[in-house]
Amino acid sequence: MIELAPHTAVMIYLGLTLLTMLAIWLSHHFRQRKKGVVIPQQKLATCEYCGQLYLTAIEQKVSKCPTCASYNE
């Protein structure tokens, strides 16, 4: 049978716990990294007349409000 001093057993226990936590964190980190960053193709616009919020294309300068049908810059 292998004899261990109490402080050695505690150090082995803490080391294994820290290694397990590091492995879980690394796997989570690399799994999230694969997803990448999504760049939105639309922006949130506010109608100047009725105050309605709606989505419009980023490159579009003038948009039409879906609620009151007025044109906004």
Q: What is the pLDDT of residues 25-62, one digit of tens each?
A: 999 998 887 776 777 788 889 999 999 999 898 888 89
Specify the number of domains making up the chain: 2
Same domain assignment for residues 23 and 54: no
Q: What is the mean pLDDT of residues 20-28?
A: 96
Same domain assignment for residues 47 and 30: no
Same domain assignment for residues 30 and 3: yes
Same domain assignment for residues 49 and 68: yes
- Do 23 and 16 meet the contact criterion of CB atoms below 8 Å apart? no
Same domain assignment for residues 28 and 9: yes
Same domain assignment for residues 4 and 23: yes
Its pTM stands at 0.46
Q: Which domain holds residue 51?
A: 42-72
Confidence tier at 16 by pLDDT (50, 70, 90): very high
Q: Which of 1-15, 28-42, 56-70 has the lowest mean pLDDT?
A: 28-42
Give the integer Cα–Cα distance in Å for 51 and 72: 11
